[in-house]
Chains A and B, each alone.
Chain A
Amino acid sequence: MKRPVLFLLAFLLCGVAAQAKTGVVFIHGKGGTDLANPSVARAYWGEDMIRATTKGFTIPYLVCSYDGTQYMWVAGGVVAGQIYNWMNANAIDDIVVETHSFGGVVIRWILSNPTYDSRYQPIINRIRWVNSIAPPNKGSEAANLAGTLSGSWLTGWMIDLVGQSNDSTRNCTTTSMSYYNQYYLKGTSGRPALPKTIYNIAGTGLWNDFAHSEDYGLATLSGIAGMPGEDDGMVSQYSAQAVGVVWFTTLANHHHNRRNDYRPIGDSLATDF
């Protein structure tokens, strides 16, 4: 409740609320190369998540799609191009960004490095804030596992969940994120603040739906990877909450917390509008 009130107050004080055109941007997490396909990226979120967040598709929205195997700066370039074109074509000047998993790192790259790409600063200027679901801000022990089990050691279902030992997975190891947090990314303790606020949503549940094999897989991953504290099978709570303001936690695991099924997360996101 605090966030809409603060935002409304700021707008009333500035007298510009009537002129703002709001839009929503969805940035997915890592995965396969096929996530560069818009229909695959849309399916990543699920239709109900997009519908709920946009209040029945009444808020203009963009579902970003990028190759989910790439480093954050490569993904950031693709995402920035899509946002830049969309916001200019539709005169969107108030953007709420919704991210899941590695998507939260991709938007942090953009927010942290405004001079890296000429499109970054105009995008940053129009972002109201970011809602980041289960972002591996301090890395993921599950991503570390991909290194330990790389090559033929990584069995099929683990590849589906963790990803191959590719660039985006390497980007998400706890060591890599420690390195990037110290030198390239902002928002962790001891680093400059991000230019826009990130509200994080950490997943703290594992067993959501016994009918889905993903749940077995995520619960197993949590145990094998040795994730400290609470986690959603892929990202630990401490890592998700290492940047920004804690908005809420959810019992939805990493498979479900990008969807609007086990918990109505999209309904919560829609309260921004």
Chain B
Amino acid sequence: MKRLLFALLFTSSLFAQDLTGVFAPGETYEAPAEHAPANVSRMFVRTAKTSVDLPATGGSGMLITTTAGARLTTPTGDVLRPRENGSLDRGVRRFHVDAKSDVIHIERTEPGNYRLDVDAPALVVAAEPDSPIALETWITPLSRQPGEPVTLFAKLTGEIGNARVTARAGGNAIELTEKDGIYSATLPDFTGIGLQQVRFEADGETRDGVRFARNGTSEFVAERGAARLGAIHASRVNGAVRVKASTDVVIPGAYRFDVIVASNGTALAWGEGVRQLERGANELVLDVPVANAGELLLDVRLLGLDTIGVAGRATVELHPRTETIE
């Protein structure tokens, strides 16, 4: 009985290869974002052979992850010795995360360099979680088709005097250029496929001449170019929008043909269907039931399923009195 109930409720999903549905009334249509939300970093990384300086901007807390038993000297000359755990009263505490690792928490830093002395070479991560100085990083486009340029962006918040921002992408060091507070660099011919991580480094001084450092990261997806969407035709057929798209397929396999129908910024309906596509030209057809007779925006996507990735995306408009448009 219960299965019968489900069958009645989800008829389209059980008896049709294609799935369709409607959005909740008033749901706002959202086009895919050009980039992911910016990553915000208030941390930096240093390698210590025996000793390393950690610049603090002052006025906020600082976390330092280091090897067990490291010695910390503050800008004013106070010392947290290797066997000392510190205290709230001193404003500095040491936590033993495991036998090899400590975290040192400075309640409120003085502007200047904190020196860390270690017994053996160590990687040190320091963060000023409450500092106004942050490195924001993002990359466009989020979904990058072959041949498209990639642009790296960075922004430093806070009272910055001067700064240098570099990035490392695909094994190359890149200098970002500042304009109107935004640092950027465009890579016209990026090679590589899949999720790409780019590391950013910022070093500089505040307007008060205090040194700071920040490390950040951002990502984008370099698509494979597995297929390409060509001409798209839309028409109204028996209470549905029929979307036809031509595709040029380079890598045959399973793909999903997705359509979102919107009107005046409101998402109305969606449809999706899995298609096995051969190499070369393929014709895709999908019907999405839509009662709205007004002007419609169709957001059409071709998504890889054998290998996850966006093969193509386009938007077309369907006008009220036009049966078929391209």
Contact of A193 among B24, B36, B61 (CB under 8 A): B24
Pick from A71, A158, A179: contact of B36, CB below 8 A. Answer: A179
B1-27 interface code vs A (CB 8 A; 1 in, 0 out): 111011000100110010101011001
- A60 contacts partner chain B, Cβ-Cβ < 8 Å: no
Minimum Cβ distance to chain B for residue A219 (Å) = 8
Rounded to whole Å, the gap between the CB of B258 and the closest CB of chain A is 8
* Residue pair B303, A156 in contact (C-beta under 8 Å): no
B145 lies within 8 A of chain A by Cβ: no
Q: How far is the CB of A147 from chain B (nearest CB, A)?
A: 5
Alpha-carbon separation in the docked complex, A155 to B96 (Å): 14
Alpha-carbon distance between A115 and B13 when the two chains are bound, in angstroms: 9
Most buried by B among A14, A149, A156: A149
How many B residues have CB within 8 A of the partner chain?
Answer: 67
Judge whether B6 and A125 touch: CB under 8 Å: yes
Interface string of B288-313 (1 = CB under 8 A from A): 00000000000001010100101000
- Is B40 among interface residues, defined by CB-CB distance under 8 A? yes
Verify A178–B41 contact, CB threshold 8 A. no
- Cβ of A182 within 8 Å of any chain B Cβ, yes or no, is yes
Cβ contacts under 8 Å, B143 to chain A:
179, 183
B37 touching A216, Cβ below 8 Å: no
Query: Chain B: interface secondary structure?
Result: strand
Contacting residues, chain B, for A213 (C-beta < 8 A): 96-98
Within 8 A of A (CB), among B9-55: 10, 13-14, 17, 19, 21, 23-24, 27-30, 32-33, 36-37, 39-43, 45
Give CA–CA (A49, B61) in the complex, Å.
36
With both beta carbons as reference points, the residue of chain B lying nearest to A177 in the complex is identified as B36
Given contacts A125-B3, A147-B217, contact A179 B129 (CB under 8 A): no
Do A148 and B199 touch (CB < 8 A)? yes
Report B-chain residues with C-beta under 8 Å of the C-beta of A9.
none
Verify if A174 is at the interface (C-beta below 8 Å from B). yes
Contact partner of A148 (CB less than 8 A), chosen from B95, B217, B270, is: B217
- Determine which residue in B65, B143, B220, B267 has the highest number of CB atoms from chain A within 10 A of its CB, and name it: B65
A220 within 8 A of B: yes
> A153 in the interface, Cβ–Cβ < 8 Å?
yes
Hey, which chain B residues are within 8 Å of A229, CB to CB?
A: none
Among A31-39, A184-192, A245-253, the stretch that binds chain B is: A184-192
Q: Is B125 an interface residue (CB 8 A)?
A: yes
- B63, A224: Cβ atoms under 8 Å? yes
Task: Identify the interface centre among B33, B42, B103: most chain A CB within 10 Å of its CB.
Answer: B103
A216 to B102, CA, bound (A): 10
Shortest distance from the beta carbon of A14 to any chain B beta carbon, whole Å: 5
Query: In chain B between 97 and 151, which residues have their CB closer than 8 angstroms to a CB of chain A?
Result: 97-98, 100-101, 103, 123, 125, 127, 129, 134, 142-143
With the chains together, A192 CA to B27 CA distance in Å? 10
In this complex, the member of A115, A121, A126, A217 whose beta carbon has the largest number of chain B beta carbons within 10 angstroms is A115
Question: Contact at B97–A216, with CB atoms within 8 Å?
Answer: yes
CA distance A70 to B195 in the complex (A): 14
Centre residue among A20, A174, A220 by max chain B CB count within 10 A? A220
Q: Are A94 and B2 in contact (CB under 8 A)?
A: yes
Cβ contacts under 8 Å, A156 to chain B: 98, 100-101
Given A114-B13, A148-B215, A183-B301: A155 and B42 interface contact (C-beta under 8 Å): no
Report A2 CB to chain B, min CB distance, Å: 19
- Whether the Cβ atoms of B40 and A178 lie closer than 8 Å is no
For B33, give its contact among A121, A178, A216 (CB under 8 Å): A178
A14 touches B123 (CB 8 A): no
Closest 9 CB pairs of A and B: A190-B30, A175-B219, A178-B36, A175-B36, A223-B129, A148-B217, A224-B127, A182-B32, A16-B1
8 A-B pairs in the complex with CB atoms less than 8 angstroms apart: A16-B2, A93-B2, A115-B273, A147-B219, A148-B216, A174-B39, A179-B221, A216-B96
Residues on B facing A (Cβ under 8 Å): 1-3, 5-6, 10, 13-14, 17, 19, 21, 23-24, 27-30, 32-33, 36-37, 39-43, 45, 61, 63, 65, 95-98, 100-101, 103, 123, 125, 127, 129, 134, 142-143, 195, 197, 199, 215-221, 256, 258, 260, 267, 270, 272-274, 301, 303, 305, 308, 310
Known pairs A175-B39, A223-B63, A225-B43 / 7 extra A-B pairs, C-beta < 8 Å: A148-B41, A157-B98, A173-B219, A175-B36, A195-B13, A217-B97, A220-B65
Q: Which residues of A contact B (CB under 8 A)?
A: 14-16, 19-20, 71, 73, 93-94, 114-116, 121, 125-126, 138, 141, 144, 147-150, 152-153, 155-158, 170, 173-176, 178-179, 182-184, 189-193, 195, 213, 216-217, 220, 222-226, 228
